[in-house]
Amino acid sequence: MELPSTITLDQLHEVLQWVFDWSNFGPHSFVTIHGEFGGPVWPMSRASKRATERRDEAGIMLAQVAGEEGSGLAYLRGFGDEWRVDIQVEKILAAAPGVGYPRCTAGQGEEVPGDRYDGVLEFNADRDPFGADVDLDPEELADEIAHPATVIIPGQ
């Protein structure tokens, strides 16, 4: 995504709601090197347990919390099983004339999570072809991984 450096965190929250097809229901916050910022705190959410350390997101610009290339922040959304979206500033460019920002320039994946999932664990379990109840035997897995290992010694 290309975002203006002046976008505020509450505006960025709205953009992320649209990108992930969420309906703006539930708590959210941004975790930065300058602390945690968010909107209203919902009772019984993970964010409510961190509420004493949160500051209001309105009026805080992206450039203030992640203003250099390579810097970033995390966006947390949900109740118990929070979604976490890591946002990293890859490159800072001058705005192009006649271009509307923010704008999505690329993406990957088959689907966006939307509101039908309570969190990332449920989303991943639904996408896992083996289901969430697969038992892993660590010793068996270690054996399977070790068998393909081969040491190749160049011929003389």
| Integer Cα distance of 9 and 143 in angstroms | 48
Unique residue bearing structure tokens 């946002």? 87
Residue 30 makes CB contacts below 8 A (sequence gap 6+) with: 9, 12, 13, 36, 37, 38, 57, 65, 73, 74, 75, 76
Tokens of 86: 């890591």
Query: pLDDT band at residue 69, thresholds of 50, 70 and 90?
Result: very high
> Two tokens at 84?
């976490």
Domain boundaries, the chain: 9-127
152 vs 92, residue with greater confidence? 92
User: What's the token pair of residue 39?
Assistant: 């909107």
CA 71 – CA 3 distance, rounded (Å): 14
Nearest to 67 by CA among 112, 156, 5, 140: 5
pLDDT at position 140 is: 57
Beta bridge partners of 98: none
- Look-up of token digits 């993406």: 107
At residue 151, the pLDDT reads 47
Task: Give 29-62 pLDDT, tens digit per residue.
Answer: 999 999 889 877 666 556 555 656 678 899 999 9
Residue 25 vs residue 102, higher pLDDT = 102
Counting runs of H as helices and runs of E as strands, what totals does the chain give?
5, 5
Is the distance from CB of 39 to CB of 28 less than 8 angstroms?
A: yes
pLDDT per residue over 99-128, tens digit each? Answer: 888 888 887 766 677 666 666 777 777 776
Q: What percent of the chain has pLDDT over 90?
A: 30
**Domain 9-127 falls under CATH 3.10.290.30:** yes
